[in-house]
Amino acid sequence: MRSRWIFACVLPGGLLVGGCSPSSILPDTAKVPQPVLNRPDQLDTIKSMRDTAQTHGADAAKKIETTH
């Protein structure tokens, strides 16, 4: 009787631990950290993103004008 009780407790516990191990969750939730930019690099990146956004807006406006 005692062996059944141990088996009944150990089996579900083992399944829970095996299914929730960090190695099974880690690849889906973790990101590899990216290097931190210093202040001049941050400003350059922001400027390039702003330029890209403005260019994209101008290109979209031209496309709209040519289709109408």
Say what the pLDDT of residue 48 is.
92
DSSP-derived letter for residue 34 is P
- The stretches of 1-68 forming alpha helices (DSSP H) are 2-19, 22-29, 39-67
Per the CB < 8 A criterion, the answer to whether 45 and 37 are in contact is: yes
Number of domains making up the chain: 1
pLDDT of residue 42: 92
Structural domain boundaries, residue 11: 2-29+37-67
Predicted confidence (pLDDT) per residue in 3-40, tens digit = 666 666 666 665 555 555 555 565 555 666 677 889 99
Q: Sorting pLDDT into bands at 50, 70 and 90, what band is 43?
A: very high
